[in-house]
Amino acid sequence: MTRRSFLATSTVAAAAAQSTPAKPNIVLVLMDNLGWGELGVYGGGIIRGAPTPRLDRFASEGTRLLNFNVEAQCVPSRAALLTGRYAVRTGNGSVPLETPVYGLTKWEYTMAEMLSDAGYSTAMFGKWHLGQTKGRFPTDHGFDEWYGIPNSSNDAYWPSNPRFRPGAHPFAKFTEVLESRRGEDPRSVKVYDLKARAAIDGEITTRAIGYMRGHAKTRKPFFLYLPYTQPHMPILPDPEFAGKTRNGEFADVLAQIDAYTGRLLDEVDRLGIRDNTIFIFTSDNGAEATMPYHGFNGPWRGTYFTGFEGSLRAPFLIRWPGKIPAGRVSNEIVHEMDLYPTLAKVAGGRVPADRVFDGIDQFDFLSGKKEESSRESLVIYLANQICGVKWRNWKMVTREVDRGFGQPVKDYSFPLWYDLHTDPKEENPLDPRFVENLWVRWPAGQVLVDHRATLKKEPPIPPGTPD
């Protein structure tokens, strides 16, 4: 390296150091229905038709969780993530069917609002799915700016469908790509049809990179929330990736996911903010259930819309150089609700104390100060119904749906029990050896008793409740 190039590099590094905020930047990538087993580092990759080298390398640079838990559907998962509360509490326990008025009421205090109050710039690019009416868009809930879709990707089928009746839905913008800033009503950018569906994740990536470039030069930290739309059905790759793997559309999209994440990581490095940026990659649900778009959950049984591990476990990768151990892998229980208080801890944010709050601060666990998670249990919901409890490696199941949606519901007068160590695929609930371990009904049952007491203390907001 010449003296001139050395001085130039030193000047850039010094400038980046001077502009580095005291609080860490946060980039949260949330995929849509990406199964536990899709990435190479989780046993997928090449066996799914496309290697995932960038995400696999990213996993080695931080911590990988094997038992990161989410809710069973898109809406409740996003509600739980952004509020730190079980979705049933906020009236978002299920994808809305009865009422077009759904989502987060103004009373909820979201992760974005918490980080904004802690001094962060906030932006969201991608899928919202937490409200489609005035007062319930991302920029009404703590985000300074938003570009994306209000609901889900299957809506892209409708604008080009000759049988679709545009006036059938009371809110016309539900089939459009929208854009807004804090304090503004969203404006329509374009119709969200199949062409727009294929292109939107590339647009999300481009906007995210532009956002980071604009904010990395300031002393103010940023929170960048990127709820991508893939690989939710319909799985349509961007033209840049269509046919790239020659292994079908899903493999093309998997390659696309890896490439887009790689571009984000490259930009973090290029901007000199790697050491002061928490970068998280995860998914809102287990794998897609709809044929022929069905996904892969590795060794776990079930798909989203069930209470099986294939629904509840999602991939989770987190990197914060020097703060979170590199190359660490853990099977400790963590829930997506725990991200809220954990990020509040590192950002100096406030966790609301005027309501029942379910998230648990996991910073000491994620930072390697202790090996055990601060959580040992969670309550399993399907829609607004309790279906069981996970306690350590044990699972108590009171209600069961076998696959996806539209399947018969089975209610059990006496719970089924699974030991996820000896029966990870949840195939043998009546193992005769279990009688020796029926003691677990006491700690697992107590989790349910305690949870039901909180529902009496603070009754859930009914779905469709107006502000």
Output the CA angle 419-425-430, nearest 5 degrees. 50
* Coil, helix or strand at residue 133: coil
* Coil, helix or strand at residue 276: helix
* Coil, helix or strand at residue 175: helix
**Paired tokens of 293:** 């778009």
Instruction: Check 129, 215, 232, 335 and give the catalytic one.
Output: 129
* Coil, helix or strand at residue 56: helix
Write out 18-45 in H/E/C secondary structure. HHCCCCCEEEEEEECCCCCCCCHHHCCH
Instruction: Check 74, 141, 232, 387 and give the catalytic one.
Output: 74
Output the CA angle 309-451-387, nearest 5 degrees. 35
Q: In angstroms, what is the C-alpha Rg of the chain? A: 22
Query: Is 387 among the catalytic positions?
Result: no
Task: Say how far apart CA 424 and CA 442 lie, in whole Å.
Answer: 22
Contacts of 83 (CB under 8 A, 6+ apart): 89, 90, 104, 108, 109, 110, 111, 337, 340
Residues recorded for the chain:
467
Known catalytic residues are 74, 129
